[in-house]
Amino acid sequence: MDVFKTHGAFSWNELLTGDPERAAGFYAGLFGWSVEAQEIAGGTYRVVKTADGTAVGGIMGIPPDSPPGMPPHWGSYVTVDSVDDAIAKAEALGGTVIVPPMDIPGVGRMAVLRDPTGAAVNVMSYEPM
């Protein structure tokens, strides 16, 4: 199964933290991940890969426009066929949009949703790889 193409599959995990370099070192030591730093708008994004080279997530700094006091946290992405359709369906089911849809060049389109119980989840439709 290609998690980047399968609607409903968890496909990416991302850590937002105040000290991305320290976190990358910790998780590399803990899980044996390799870390590849990439410069993106807003700073450095660290792609983490398993021992076989499979990219499984990323580590980045907490964005400056985040709510004050936001703690470090892991977020999961779920692949969807259409971010806009997923938003409409989530809202019909009682969910809300936390971060409106945005296009990430070279990656795809994403948004952050909150379910009716208060939990957040990221949805992503990926560009062809």
User: Per-residue pLDDT tens for 47-104?
Assistant: 999 999 999 999 999 988 888 999 999 999 999 999 999 999 999 999 999 999 999 9
**What size, in residues, is the chain?**
129
The span from the CA of 45 to the CA of 33, in Å, is 15
CA 73-67-19 angle, to 5 degrees, is 45
Q: In what order do the strands lie in the sheet with 120-126?
A: 34-40, 43-49, 55-61, 10-17, 73-79, 120-126, 108-114, 96-104
Closest CA to 45 of 16, 12, 3: 16
* Distance set, CA 110 to CA 34, 101, 104 (Å): 25, 5, 8
Cβ atoms of residues 43 and 51 within 8 Å: no
pLDDT at 129 over 90: no
User: Per-residue pLDDT tens for 2-59?
Assistant: 999 999 999 999 999 999 999 999 999 999 999 999 998 878 999 999 999 999 999 9
| Tally of CB atoms within 10 A around 16 | 19
pTM: 0.87
